[in-house]
Each structure stands twice: as structure tokens, then as C-alpha cells.
Amino acid sequence: MAEILLDIRNLHARVEGKEILKGIDLTVRRGEIHAVMGPNGAGKSTLGAVLTGKPGYEVTEGSVTFAGEDLLAMAPEERSWAGLFLSFQYPVEIPGVGITNFMKTAVNARRKAQGLEPMKAPEFLKLMKEKMALVQMRPEFSKREVNVGFSGGEKKRNEIFQMAMLSPVLSILDETDSGLDVDALKIVAEGVNSLHTPETAAMIITHYQKLLDYVRPDIVHILKAGRIVRTAGRELVEEIEREGFDKF
């Protein structure tokens, strides 16, 4: 079996005093694609937020190990440098900050943390161009402000673009399929699939099976009321689609 990348043990977390995660156990190995499915309010997005260190989410019990390190002890930026990436359900608009400057700052901050020199401009622009092509973004895209005035589909493609730029070891996609038409969904799926290697892993958090038609999960979890109530292979997706979450 491949090496364990993410190990979540008995994770409890609360938001504004309310316990949302009530003891999650989940193990992701390199090369695997996991789907975390569940009804609204199950704690799916909270799981993504806790793993990326969003302020306001308090871990009250349990542990999370990422590539052998204590993930919960790291600041959000350190988690990114370690290779964690979250595709936001609601990507944030940053007026006045251009995408090129934003990405350059992000890429070079990580290089600095790794003891590397900043990336040279031609090399950086080549990388931008290549990754924009991956999500079918037109050249003007690089001149826009981060997510400002973007359509729903553009925002999600921008998330996958950033993911491609940062080439994470573990990508968490939080409801990336919500609000996407089939064309945008395919672009997102192709992006995710093309970045997948035996060394990397992905966790797809979703309500529907839509994205899972294009990105095939190896392992499927059902999250309900803050606990994982079932873990199985991809056949579980069809079972949920047929019978809903109620029976679990």
C-alpha cells in the first residue's frame, strides 16, 4: 500500500461554540482520490476549513497528521507550503489585487519558505500561460483582479488554475461542482485529473455525484451529523444517487 499522506484521528471541531465535527477518522494515501459526501449541514465544509486552518474553527479533540507532520500546529500558509490546497466553495474576491501579482506572491512565498530564489519572470509567465491553458482561461484573465466580477464558472476555474500553479500534494475540492454547467464541470474535472499522480491525492467534498462522473474516486465516505457513517468503494456513489442519504 502507498504511504499515508493524511491521517485524521478522532477529530472534533466547533464553530461559534457549536460542535460540528464529532469524531472523524479518515486516512488518505498517496495516489488516492477520496470523495466525502453528505447532506447539507453534515460538516463537509467544516472539515475542509479545519484542515486548512481557517480562523474561527476550533479543534477540541483529535489529531491530523499530514506527510508525517502535525497539521493542526501549522499556520494556513505553512499548510500550503507543505502541499495542501483547498478549492473554495465560495472563492473570495480581492479588489485591487491582480491575478498575476497574487500568484507571483504565492509562488515566491513558498519558494522562499523552501530556501529557493524567487522564480524568474519569463519562467513564471510561461508557467502562468501553461496553467491558464489547462483551464481554458483567455490571456486577459491574467490582468484581472482576483475573482472580481467573475462568473460562478470562472471562479471555480480560477481555483483549479491556482491549484495547478501550486501543484499541491493534497487537493481538497469543496463543492467545486456546485453551480457549474457541464462544460465548466468538464474543464474542472480535466484539470483535476491531469494534476493527479501516484504521489498526490485529492479529497472531493460534494453533495452530488456530478463531478464524480468525471473524476473517479477510489474511496467514498458518507459524512452525516459530524461523523463518517460509511466508507466504501466508488459503488457507494451510485447507491447514494439511487437511495439518498437518509438510509445511512
Partner 1 sequence: MGHGHYIEPAFGREVHRVGAGERLDLDFVILPGQPRDLRIEVDLVGEGAEVNLRGLYLCPSDEQVSITVILHHRVSGCRSSQLFKGIVGGTAKVRFDGTIIVAPDAQQTEAYQENHNILLTETALVETSPQLEIYADDVKCSHGATVGRLNEEEQFYMRSRGIPEAEAKILQMISFLAPVTSHLPETQAAAIESALRSIL
With 0-12 CB in 10 A as exposed, 13-18 as middle and 19+ as buried, what is 186? middle
Closest CA to 59 of 21, 86, 5, 7: 21
For partner 1, which is the closer residue by CB, 54 or 186?
54
The distance of closest approach from Cβ of residue 246 to partner 1 in the complex, given in angstroms and rounded to an integer, is: 34
Minimal distance in Å, beta carbon 144 to partner 1?
13
Q: Which residues of 144-154 are buried (b: 16+ CB within 10 A; e: fewer)?
A: bbbbeebeebb
Q: Residue 96 CB, nearest distance to partner 1 (Å)?
A: 3
- Give the interface with partner 1 as residue ranges (CB under 8 A): 52-55, 75-77, 79-81, 85-86, 88, 91-92, 94-97, 101-102, 105-107, 109-110, 113, 162, 166
3-state secondary structure of 112: helix
Query: Do residues 229 and 222 lie in contact, with contact meaning Cβ atoms separated by under 8 Å?
Result: yes
Cα separation, 59 vs 63, whole angstroms:
9
What is the smallest separation between the CB atom of 37 and partner 1, expressed in angstroms? 23
Q: Which three cell numbers stand for residue 215?
A: 473524476
Cβ proximity to partner 1, 171 vs 206, nearer residue = 171
Distance CA(35)–CA(172), nearest Å, equals 10
Which one, 94 or 182, has the nearer CB to partner 1?
A: 94
Which CB atom, from 86 or from 220, has the smaller least distance to partner 1?
86
User: 231: helix, coil or strand?
Assistant: strand
Nearer to partner 1, 144 or 234 (CB): 144
CB of 109 to partner 1, least distance (A): 5
